[in-house]
Protein backbone atom coordinates (compact mmCIF):
# COMPACT_ATOMS: atom_id res chain seq x y z
CA UNK A 1 0.00 0.00 0.00
CA UNK A 2 2.89 2.34 0.68
CA UNK A 3 4.10 1.95 -2.90
CA UNK A 4 0.59 2.25 -4.35
CA UNK A 5 -0.50 5.27 -2.35
CA UNK A 6 -2.03 7.89 -4.62
CA UNK A 7 -1.26 5.89 -7.78
CA UNK A 8 -3.65 2.95 -7.70
CA UNK A 9 -6.99 1.98 -6.26
CA UNK A 10 -6.42 -1.18 -4.25
CA UNK A 11 -9.30 -3.58 -3.61
CA UNK A 12 -8.29 -6.51 -1.41
CA UNK A 13 -10.17 -9.76 -1.76
CA UNK A 14 -10.58 -11.20 1.73
CA UNK A 15 -12.98 -14.14 1.48
CA UNK A 16 -12.21 -17.50 3.03
CA UNK A 17 -14.64 -20.34 3.45
CA UNK A 18 -15.28 -19.41 7.05
CA UNK A 19 -16.28 -16.13 8.61
CA UNK A 20 -13.54 -15.85 11.25
CA UNK A 21 -10.61 -16.05 8.81
CA UNK A 22 -12.37 -13.68 6.41
CA UNK A 23 -12.84 -11.15 9.21
CA UNK A 24 -9.18 -11.43 10.15
CA UNK A 25 -8.14 -10.69 6.58
CA UNK A 26 -10.60 -7.79 6.41
CA UNK A 27 -9.16 -6.24 9.58
CA UNK A 28 -5.65 -6.64 8.23
CA UNK A 29 -6.61 -5.08 4.90
CA UNK A 30 -8.19 -2.10 6.64
CA UNK A 31 -5.11 -1.65 8.83
CA UNK A 32 -3.04 -1.33 5.65
CA UNK A 33 -5.34 1.35 4.26
CA UNK A 34 -6.77 -0.42 1.24
CA UNK A 35 -9.43 1.47 -0.69
CA UNK A 36 -11.97 -1.35 -0.47
CA UNK A 37 -12.37 -5.00 0.39
CA UNK A 38 -14.20 -7.57 -1.72
CA UNK A 39 -15.62 -11.02 -1.13
CA UNK A 40 -17.16 -13.89 -3.03
CA UNK A 41 -19.91 -15.79 -1.19
CA UNK A 42 -19.06 -18.93 0.78
CA UNK A 43 -18.42 -21.83 -1.59
CA UNK A 44 -19.25 -25.54 -1.55
CA UNK A 45 -22.27 -25.40 0.76
CA UNK A 46 -25.41 -24.01 -0.87
CA UNK A 47 -26.37 -21.39 1.69
CA UNK A 48 -29.60 -19.36 1.67
CA UNK A 49 -29.47 -15.66 0.90
CA UNK A 50 -29.84 -14.71 4.56
CA UNK A 51 -26.72 -16.72 5.48
CA UNK A 52 -24.70 -15.19 2.64
CA UNK A 53 -25.80 -11.71 3.68
CA UNK A 54 -24.77 -12.44 7.27
CA UNK A 55 -21.37 -13.66 6.08
CA UNK A 56 -20.76 -10.53 4.00
CA UNK A 57 -22.03 -8.19 6.70
CA UNK A 58 -19.86 -9.87 9.33
CA UNK A 59 -16.82 -9.37 7.09
CA UNK A 60 -17.76 -5.73 6.51
CA UNK A 61 -18.22 -5.20 10.25
CA UNK A 62 -14.62 -6.31 10.81
CA UNK A 63 -13.46 -3.42 8.56
CA UNK A 64 -16.07 -0.77 9.42
CA UNK A 65 -14.20 2.13 7.83
CA UNK A 66 -13.60 0.44 4.49
CA UNK A 67 -15.86 0.17 1.45
CA UNK A 68 -17.16 -3.29 0.55
CA UNK A 69 -17.57 -4.76 -2.95
CA UNK A 70 -19.59 -7.89 -3.65
CA UNK A 71 -17.86 -10.30 -6.02
CA UNK A 72 -20.41 -12.21 -8.10
CA UNK A 73 -18.90 -15.20 -9.92
CA UNK A 74 -21.59 -17.89 -9.87
CA UNK A 75 -19.91 -20.27 -12.32
CA UNK A 76 -17.09 -20.82 -9.81
CA UNK A 77 -18.66 -19.94 -6.45
CA UNK A 78 -21.72 -22.09 -7.08
CA UNK A 79 -24.15 -19.38 -5.96
CA UNK A 80 -25.33 -16.24 -7.74
CA UNK A 81 -26.03 -12.76 -6.49
CA UNK A 82 -29.77 -12.18 -6.71
CA UNK A 83 -31.65 -8.89 -6.65
CA UNK A 84 -33.26 -9.72 -3.26
CA UNK A 85 -29.80 -10.49 -1.84
CA UNK A 86 -28.41 -7.26 -3.31
CA UNK A 87 -31.30 -5.30 -1.80
CA UNK A 88 -30.48 -6.79 1.59
CA UNK A 89 -26.80 -5.93 1.21
CA UNK A 90 -27.59 -2.34 0.21
CA UNK A 91 -28.85 -1.81 3.77
CA UNK A 92 -25.13 -1.86 4.67
CA UNK A 93 -23.80 1.65 3.90
CA UNK A 94 -20.31 0.27 3.25
CA UNK A 95 -21.51 -1.71 0.22
CA UNK A 96 -20.55 0.44 -2.75
CA UNK A 97 -20.56 -1.94 -5.70
CA UNK A 98 -20.37 -5.29 -7.43
CA UNK A 99 -17.67 -6.95 -9.44
CA UNK A 100 -19.79 -8.98 -11.81
CA UNK A 101 -18.16 -12.00 -13.42
CA UNK A 102 -21.32 -13.77 -14.51
CA UNK A 103 -21.58 -14.15 -18.27
CA UNK A 104 -24.98 -12.46 -18.88
CA UNK A 105 -24.35 -8.74 -19.35
CA UNK A 106 -27.97 -8.26 -18.28
CA UNK A 107 -26.78 -8.86 -14.71
CA UNK A 108 -24.66 -5.70 -14.92
CA UNK A 109 -27.68 -3.65 -15.95
CA UNK A 110 -29.84 -5.13 -13.20
CA UNK A 111 -27.24 -4.60 -10.45
CA UNK A 112 -26.48 -1.07 -11.64
CA UNK A 113 -30.16 -0.18 -11.77
CA UNK A 114 -30.85 -1.54 -8.29
CA UNK A 115 -27.69 -0.13 -6.75
CA UNK A 116 -28.25 3.43 -7.95
CA UNK A 117 -31.82 3.81 -6.72
CA UNK A 118 -31.86 6.84 -4.45
CA UNK A 119 -28.85 9.08 -3.95
CA UNK A 120 -26.05 6.66 -3.05
CA UNK A 121 -23.20 6.15 -5.53
CA UNK A 122 -22.79 2.56 -6.71
CA UNK A 123 -20.28 1.03 -9.10
CA UNK A 124 -20.42 -2.17 -11.11
CA UNK A 125 -17.30 -3.68 -12.68
CA UNK A 126 -17.35 -5.98 -15.69
CA UNK A 127 -15.59 -9.26 -14.91
CA UNK A 128 -15.45 -11.41 -18.08
CA UNK A 129 -12.66 -9.93 -20.21
CA UNK A 130 -14.18 -11.42 -23.36
CA UNK A 131 -17.17 -9.08 -23.08
CA UNK A 132 -15.47 -5.93 -21.82
CA UNK A 133 -17.14 -3.51 -24.23
CA UNK A 134 -20.49 -5.28 -23.85
CA UNK A 135 -20.31 -4.72 -20.11
CA UNK A 136 -19.40 -1.06 -20.58
CA UNK A 137 -22.21 -0.59 -23.08
CA UNK A 138 -24.86 -1.82 -20.69
CA UNK A 139 -23.63 0.25 -17.77
CA UNK A 140 -20.44 -1.08 -16.15
CA UNK A 141 -18.25 1.67 -14.71
CA UNK A 142 -15.07 -0.18 -15.62
CA UNK A 143 -13.58 -3.63 -15.50
CA UNK A 144 -11.50 -5.93 -13.33
CA UNK A 145 -9.96 -8.74 -15.32
CA UNK A 146 -7.44 -11.54 -15.09
CA UNK A 147 -5.96 -11.16 -18.58
CA UNK A 148 -5.35 -7.40 -18.34
CA UNK A 149 -1.85 -8.04 -17.02
CA UNK A 150 -0.78 -9.80 -20.22
CA UNK A 151 -1.87 -6.92 -22.47
CA UNK A 152 -2.72 -3.80 -20.43
CA UNK A 153 -2.14 -1.42 -23.33
CA UNK A 154 -4.83 -3.17 -25.38
CA UNK A 155 -7.44 -2.84 -22.64
CA UNK A 156 -6.55 0.82 -22.11
CA UNK A 157 -6.97 1.35 -25.86
CA UNK A 158 -10.24 -0.59 -25.83
CA UNK A 159 -11.63 1.58 -23.05
CA UNK A 160 -10.56 4.70 -24.91
CA UNK A 161 -12.26 3.59 -28.13
CA UNK A 162 -15.45 2.87 -26.23
CA UNK A 163 -15.32 6.20 -24.38
CA UNK A 164 -14.81 8.05 -27.68
CA UNK A 165 -17.78 6.33 -29.33
CA UNK A 166 -15.68 4.48 -31.90
CA UNK A 167 -17.88 1.39 -31.77
CA UNK A 168 -16.66 -0.42 -34.89
CA UNK A 169 -13.02 -0.10 -33.88
CA UNK A 170 -13.81 -1.12 -30.32
CA UNK A 171 -15.63 -4.22 -31.57
CA UNK A 172 -12.69 -5.24 -33.77
CA UNK A 173 -10.18 -4.75 -30.97
CA UNK A 174 -12.43 -6.76 -28.65
CA UNK A 175 -12.32 -9.58 -31.23
CA UNK A 176 -8.52 -9.37 -31.30
CA UNK A 177 -8.37 -9.44 -27.50
CA UNK A 178 -10.73 -12.42 -27.41
CA UNK A 179 -8.53 -14.35 -29.83
CA UNK A 180 -5.56 -13.69 -27.54
CA UNK A 181 -7.55 -14.98 -24.56
CA UNK A 182 -8.48 -18.13 -26.48
CA UNK A 183 -4.80 -18.66 -27.28
CA UNK A 184 -3.86 -18.21 -23.61
CA UNK A 185 -6.36 -20.94 -22.76
CA UNK A 186 -5.26 -23.33 -25.52
CA UNK A 187 -2.41 -25.03 -23.64
CA UNK A 188 -2.54 -27.61 -20.89
CA UNK A 189 -1.40 -25.18 -18.22
CA UNK A 190 -3.65 -22.91 -16.18
CA UNK A 191 -4.55 -19.56 -17.74
CA UNK A 192 -2.55 -17.65 -15.13
CA UNK A 193 0.49 -19.83 -15.68
CA UNK A 194 0.21 -18.92 -19.37
CA UNK A 195 -0.03 -15.22 -18.53
CA UNK A 196 3.07 -15.42 -16.32
CA UNK A 197 5.00 -17.09 -19.13
CA UNK A 198 3.85 -14.41 -21.59
CA UNK A 199 5.10 -11.74 -19.20
CA UNK A 200 8.44 -13.50 -18.95
CA UNK A 201 8.82 -13.68 -22.72
CA UNK A 202 7.49 -10.24 -23.63
CA UNK A 203 8.52 -8.13 -20.63
CA UNK A 204 11.40 -10.05 -19.07
CA UNK A 205 9.42 -10.44 -15.84
CA UNK A 206 10.19 -13.76 -14.17
CA UNK A 207 7.54 -13.94 -11.46
CA UNK A 208 7.37 -17.69 -11.07
CA UNK A 209 4.40 -19.89 -11.81
CA UNK A 210 1.06 -20.68 -10.23
CA UNK A 211 0.56 -22.47 -6.92
CA UNK A 212 -0.51 -26.12 -6.93
CA UNK A 213 -2.97 -27.58 -7.65
CA UNK A 214 -3.19 -25.17 -10.60
CA UNK A 215 -1.33 -26.60 -13.60
CA UNK A 216 2.05 -24.95 -14.17
CA UNK A 217 3.53 -24.08 -17.56
CA UNK A 218 5.60 -26.82 -19.19
CA UNK A 219 7.31 -27.28 -22.54
CA UNK A 220 4.09 -28.84 -23.84
CA UNK A 221 2.56 -25.38 -23.75
CA UNK A 222 5.23 -23.74 -25.94
CA UNK A 223 3.16 -23.66 -29.12
CA UNK A 224 0.14 -22.11 -27.42
CA UNK A 225 2.27 -19.53 -25.59
CA UNK A 226 4.19 -18.62 -28.74
CA UNK A 227 0.89 -18.14 -30.59
CA UNK A 228 -0.47 -15.93 -27.81
CA UNK A 229 2.71 -13.82 -27.82
CA UNK A 230 2.53 -13.39 -31.59
CA UNK A 231 -1.12 -12.31 -31.39
CA UNK A 232 -0.32 -9.77 -28.67
CA UNK A 233 2.59 -8.40 -30.68
CA UNK A 234 0.42 -8.06 -33.79
CA UNK A 235 -2.39 -6.37 -31.86
CA UNK A 236 0.05 -4.01 -30.17
CA UNK A 237 1.47 -3.02 -33.53
CA UNK A 238 -1.97 -2.54 -35.01
CA UNK A 239 -3.66 -0.69 -32.17
CA UNK A 240 -0.97 0.93 -30.05
CA UNK A 241 1.94 1.44 -32.44
- pLDDT tens digits for 205-238? 999 999 999 999 999 999 999 999 999 999 999 9
Q: Cα-flanking dihedrals φ and ψ of residue 236, to 5°?
A: -60, -45
Can you give the pLDDT at residue 240?
A: 96
**pLDDT in the model for residue 5:** 82
Whether 184 and 196 map to the same domain: the answer is: yes
Query: CB-based burial of residue 15 (10 Å sphere; 0-12 exposed, 13-18 middle, 19+ buried)?
Result: buried
Same domain, 164 and 217: yes
Q: How many domains does the chain have?
A: 2
Instruction: Please write the tens of the pLDDT for every residue from 147-166.
Output: 999 999 999 999 999 999 99
Look up the pTM and report it.
0.92
Which conformational region is residue 164 in: left (phi greater than 0), alpha (psi within -120 to 50 degrees), or beta? alpha
The residue range of the domain holding 12 is: 1-145
* 91 is annotated as an active-site residue: no
Q: Which residues of the chain have pLDDT under 70?
A: none
For residues 204 and 232, membership in a common domain is answered with: yes
Catalytic residue among 44, 55, 71, 237: 71
96 phi, psi to nearest 5 deg: -115, -5
Look at residue 4 in the predicted model and tell me its pLDDT. 87
Let me know whether 10 and 83 are in one domain.
yes
Give catalytic status of residue 99 as yes or no: yes
Query: Does residue 159 come out as left (phi exceeding 0), alpha (psi in the -120 to 50 range) or beta?
Result: alpha
pLDDT of the residue at 2: 85
pLDDT at site 10 = 95
* One domain for residues 16 and 107: yes
Q: Which of 55, 99, 112, 196 is catalytic?
A: 99
Judge contact between 148 and 189, C-beta under 8 A: no
- Please tell me the distance from the alpha carbon of residue 30 to that of residue 103, in angstroms, as a whole number: 31
Amino acid sequence: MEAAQGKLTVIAHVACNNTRDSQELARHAESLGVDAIASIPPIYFRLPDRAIAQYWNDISAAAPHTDFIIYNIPQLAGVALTIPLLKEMLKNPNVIGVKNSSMPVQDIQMFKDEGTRGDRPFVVFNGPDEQFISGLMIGADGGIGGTYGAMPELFVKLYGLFRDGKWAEARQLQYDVDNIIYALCAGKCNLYAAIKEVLRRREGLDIGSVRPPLAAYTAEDDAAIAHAVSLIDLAMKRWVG
